[in-house]
Chains A and B, each alone.
Chain A
Amino acid sequence: MIKVEHLSKSFADTKAVNNISFEVAEGQNLILLGTSGCGKTTTLKMINRLIEPDHGSVFIDGKNIIEQQPEILRRGIGYVLQNNGLFPHYTVAENIAVVARLLKWEEKQIQHRVSELLEKLHLDKKYLTAYPNELSGGQQQRVGLARALVTDPAVLLMDEPFGALDNITRSKIQAEFKALDELKRKTIIMVTHDVQEAFELGDRICLMDKGKIVQNGTPAELLFKPANNFVKDFLKEQRLQLEFKAIKVKDIISPPPSADGGTFELNGDILPGDASLWYMLERLKFSKAESISVRNAHHKEVGKLDFEDLMSAFYQYKKQQAHE
């Protein structure tokens, strides 16, 4: 879906981005992870031409973006900023509708779409006529997300979208973000410096340092097959939590829920089939139920898991990794 080839960008004498290449498959969520100054934001901004690269090219859907007019390109790509970048002189409704208006949608369609998004992002309708400064930080960030989603673009770029939020609000919005079905179909590139966030939200993580990609892989690959000591060191803190987050329950239990739409069920709640171990343990810990039931695609119970089963499966998996 998105293909980046040999991209480079220098500012004055420093090479902000140094000959990097990667690909993001359709529907995948790639995290550009790294400390500040590693070139991750510059890379992101070259994808919608907020920054023009010195060398290299970017293809979206097979089309070289340099052949498109920048404004037209950008209208087709959702963009979420760290400080939300909402227009202070526009109401919430006007903010969300910006791109739709630029694309000259019909007014009725815009109205419909705006209220739909508001509902999906759990924002009260009364905020439609409010101005951004009347909203809390979390609400502003939701509006920023809604603005990026209004025309349902296939590609979404996010520059530290949750970076300015406090911890509690952040984890709440991250959870909502994961649950939002609109996002599941989208190809997303997200920039963050927060390792936990990267492991929470990323299908793949691209760890960057000094303008180069150090390792590009799934969270589990980064944890268990680090390319070098830099990767290992980077993931040192709260490693156990990272491992829990990186491991998907379906990968470590037998029998797994069937690959074509199997789920888990806890206390009547359906839990997603690709839920992480961390998520599952957390749900189980704070639930009255003793065990999670494993369902196949036809919603038939094929097994049961309690806390101990999960933990022992984890140790089994770790042992296996160490032997490989």
Chain B
Amino acid sequence: MNEQQQTLWQFMAQQSDKLLTQTLQHIGLTFISLIIAVLIGLPLGIFIARRKTFSGPVLGVAGVLQTIPSIALLGFMIPLLGIGPKPAIVALLLYALLPIIRNTYTGITGVDSSVKEAAVAMGMNKWQLLFKVELPLAMPVILAGIRTATVINVGVATLASYIAAGGLGEFIFGGISLNNTNMILAGAIPAAMLAILFDFALSLLQRLNLKKLKVAAKVLPVVVVLMACFYFIPSAYGSKLTAGFTPEFMGRQDGNLGLRSKYGLNIHTIVISDAVMYKAAFEKELDVISGYSTDGRLKAYDLVVLDDDKKIFPPYYAAPIVREDALQRFPQLEPTLNLLAGKINDSVMTDLNYRTDYLHQSPERVAKDFLVAHHLLKPARGGNAGIVRIGSKIFGEQYILASMYSMLIKGYTDYDVATKTGLGGTKICFDAMTNNQIDLYPEYTGTGLLAILQPSQQQIDAVTGDKEKTYNYVKDEFEKRYRIKWLQPIGFNNAYALMMRRKQAAQLGVKTISNLKQYLETK
């Protein structure tokens, strides 16, 4: 059955074991970080309620942490804590801190001063005052803070999948990369429901009267700890090597699914964002990763590509794809874009990527150097005969290509250029195109075939063996279905590939994916 015709319900039923695992991981991540945040935030809130001079700095720092974009915060964590649950939990707890500290502080300072005076006058010491009077009276406010923190955490925990910590983000980001709405919803709906459910449960708790609150205060920690334990349930498996695959790779026929069905490869797999995957492999946190064959980090981190001896990875030849109405509006566009056709082969692209990814040269500079070296650069004409909108996905290679096209258009035509780079994934980029937000972006034949067109398995098998067939098929289909034109291929093939550290691959004698499978099966 074709994936697109599948209903959401069918998808969820089919993936129910994964869905359960991810949901449990999600709950676990949320609550582990919540427990730690409470263990840190509550005493800190109490402390600053007692020593008011510290309240400014403490709340300030917690507030600043809150404003760091979550992806950036996760990024900061990797050099410190590596990948996996540790950095995810730390990042989540940092987000949960502010509401907990602030509400503890507000709650305690908000207790009626005559009640506090009465408590002291009755002969309570400062601990009795805290536990018998201040904390119980501040409890509704503190619970409100914990409630806010919980809901924030459920949301932010979706990003944990970027650094191999699991959770419902695996479906959400996998779905975005794969243009699979069902997959996105299968992650997003449970995540939203978790947020609503926890919010509702905690709101009930907040409204409990004082007497029941005493009971709840004893039951709640037990429940939270139980929830936190969910995270550890799914992780009871092991294997010799650890693979880190992107969410996209996990769900693709020409990815993990194919590895399992065609090679029978069974490897302990964690889901990770490609931004950190190469580094994690280099640092021996991962042994096998799903990279792109032209990625610059391949060179930077001394990784080798395993030979795809059973040909499950279809060709991914890059070519600009353009809206047909744009080609009509900008007649000079097509010849200009084709200036790059056939100019960049695999090793050139890898080198260009190496310069941006590893040497941290700007994509504009790398693009310009390349055009200069190939005598393609012309000074910008400063034309104003219309604006061509160029998109790109969110990785270096696409930035470089977008820069090259931008310079070519400015130099060879009278059009001006607007670039919308860094669109989150195939789905976002392609949707921007069909919704007439961008006119062109560089796409790959394999992606066009498998992620966008999603034809039957028979059709896939028929066209993926040969790069010309694949190109012609997607070209025809895109024209028919979307009125989008594939221009001439740029030359390189940025296919999926399994990679290992060169040294480890040599030690284990693994050269092909079949070798890898054999190694894993020997005991």
Contact = CB atoms under 8 A, between A and B. Distances in A.
A8 interface: no
Interface stretch (A81-89, A182-190, A212-220): A81-89
A169 B112 CA distance: 24
B124 A71 contact: yes
Given A102-B128, A131-B210, A85 B123 contact: no
A192 interface: no
A72 interface: yes
Interface string B405-446: 000000000000000000000000000000000000000000
Interface string B119-154: 111111100100011001100000000000000000
B117 interface: yes
B348 interface: no
A99 B122 contact: yes
A147 B122 contact: yes
A102 to B, nearest CB: 5
A211 to B, nearest CB: 21
A15 interface: no
Interface in B377-420: none
A85 B136 contact: no
A89 B136 contact: yes
Contacts of B123: 71-76, 99, 102
B137 A89 contact: yes
Q: Which of B118, B125, B132, B133 has the most CB of A within 10 A?
A: B118
Contact of B121 (A48, A72, A89): A48
A82 B118 CA distance: 10
A85 B125 contact: no
Contacts of B115: 85-88
B119 to A, nearest CB: 7
A81 B117 contact: yes
A83 B116 CA distance: 12
A133 B210 CA distance: 12
A31 B112 CA distance: 27
Contacts of A82: 114
A73 B118 CA distance: 14
A89 B210 CA distance: 6
B125 A71 contact: yes
Contacts of A87: 115, 118-119, 132-133, 137
A264 interface: no
Contacts of B124: 71, 102
B118 A86 contact: yes
B17 to A, nearest CB: 46
B137 A79 contact: no
A85 B210 contact: no
A81 B133 contact: no
Contact of A81 (B114, B132, B137): B114
A167 B191 CA distance: 60
Interface string A155-169: 000000000000000
A125 to B, nearest CB: 19
A189 B137 CA distance: 30
B121 A81 contact: yes
Contacts of A50: 117, 120-121
A87 B210 CA distance: 11
A74 B120 contact: yes
Contacts of B133: 87, 89
Contacts of A147: 122
Contact of B122 (A79, A83, A84, A89): A79
A316 B115 CA distance: 51
Contacts of A102: 122-124, 128
A57 B134 CA distance: 31
B136 A79 contact: no
A132 to B, nearest CB: 10
B108 to A, nearest CB: 14
A113 to B, nearest CB: 15
17 contacts: A72-B123, A74-B120, A74-B123, A79-B121, A81-B114, A85-B115, A85-B117, A85-B118, A87-B133, A88-B115, A88-B137, A88-B210, A89-B136, A89-B210, A102-B124, A131-B210, A147-B122
Interface of A: 48, 50, 71-76, 79, 81-89, 98-99, 102, 131, 147
Given A85-B114, A88-B112, 17 more contacts: A50-B117, A71-B123, A71-B125, A74-B120, A75-B123, A79-B118, A81-B114, A85-B112, A85-B117, A86-B115, A86-B118, A87-B118, A87-B137, A89-B137, A98-B122, A102-B122, A102-B128
**A-B interface, 10 closest residue pairs, ranked by CB to CB distance from nearest:** A85-B118, A75-B123, A74-B123, A79-B121, A85-B114, A89-B210, A83-B114, A71-B123, A89-B136, A71-B125
Interface of B: 112, 114-115, 117-125, 128, 132-133, 136-137, 210
